[in-house]
Amino acid sequence: MNLDDFLSKASIVDCHGQIAFELVLLLNGEVLVKSRHGNFQVDPRTRVVSPPGRVVPQEVVEQAIVFARSCL
C-alpha cells in the first residue's frame, strides 16, 4: 500500500498551463509544497515555512493554508 495514494493533493498552474506548485496535505497537518525549485513545508496554523530562510511568495503560503483548511 502506497500512502501517497491516500493523501489530499492539489496543483497550482502557471499562466502557461504548467504545474508550478503541487500541494500535498501531510498526516501532521502541514502542507508539502513541491516546485521546480525544490520542496518546502508550510504549517497552516503558524504560517511558518520550513526550511527556515526559504523565500516563498506570500500567495503560495496563503494557497497552502486555504488548501489545508478545505481538506478538514
Domain ranges of the chain: 3-70
Query: What's the pLDDT at 6?
Result: 83
Residue 70 has pLDDT above 90, yes or no: yes
List, as one string, the DSSP characters of 32-62: EEEETTEEEEEETTTTEEESTT----HHHHH
pTM greater than 0.85:
yes
Cα separations (Å) of 51 from 16, 43, 55, 56, 57? Answer: 28, 11, 10, 11, 14
Rounded CA gap, 31 and 56, in Å?
13
| 34-56 residue pLDDT tens | 999 999 999 999 999 999 999 99
| 18-30 residue pLDDT tens | 999 999 999 999 9
Residue whose C-alpha cell reads 520550513 in the numeric block:
50
